[in-house]
């Protein structure tokens, strides 16, 4: 009797599967914009959009890697033309992401954070982004 083993996956497949999980998570209704795969966010969007992109992976009986999730938060006005980080909203999204990541489940996968969830300035824009580096372990046997 031959036992069917799980199929090995590519980076694009991991990106697609994590995108589907995030799209179906509470993050979808918590942000004002959409959830997109890498390269699909509308140009010049000023919405709270989430971008899911494959970062790196290692092949083997356990496929391991990192999928990056960035949630963009528009800066807020601060005295005329000046715009600054929306600290309160960035903190809310960081906390929401912590809960979303801890509840992710999919057969064959184990998810964890690769580093702390944190916020960065999106250079040359009036936005910041919350960054989540989602580590995955996938069993191929």
What 3 state SS string does 15-80 have?
HHHHHHHHHCCCHHHHCCCCEEECCCCCCCCCCCCEEEEEEEEECCCEEEEEEEEEEEEECEECCC
> CA-CA distance, 87 to 128, in Å (whole number)?
9
Phi/psi for 129 (5° steps) reads -140, 140
Residue 131's pLDDT band, with cuts at 50, 70 and 90, is very high
Q: Please classify residue 2 by burial: count the beta carbons closer than 10 Å to its beta carbon, then call 0-12 exposed, 13-18 middle and 19+ buried.
A: exposed
Find the mean pLDDT for residues 82-89.
96
Q: What percent of the chain has pLDDT over 70?
A: 96
Q: What is the pLDDT of residues 9-34, one digit of tens each?
A: 999 999 999 999 999 999 999 999 99
């Amino acid at each position: 009797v031959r036992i069917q083993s799980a199929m090995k996956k590519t980076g694009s497949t991991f990106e697609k599967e994590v995108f589907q999980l995030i799209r179906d998570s509470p993050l979808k209704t918590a942000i004002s914009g959409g959830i997109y795969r890498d390269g699909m966010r509308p140009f010049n969007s000023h919405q709270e959009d989430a971008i899911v992109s494959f970062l790196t992976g290692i092949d083997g009986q356990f496929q391991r890697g990192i999928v990056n999730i960035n949630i963009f938060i528009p800066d807020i006005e601060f005295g005329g033309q000046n715009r600054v980080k929306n600290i309160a909203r960035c903190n809310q999204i960081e906390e929401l992401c912590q809960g979303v990541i801890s509840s992710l489940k999919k057969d064959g996968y184990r998810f964890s954070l690769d580093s702390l969830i944190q916020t960065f300035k999106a250079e040359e824009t009036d936005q910041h982004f919350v960054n989540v580096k989602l580590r995955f372990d996938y069993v191929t046997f």
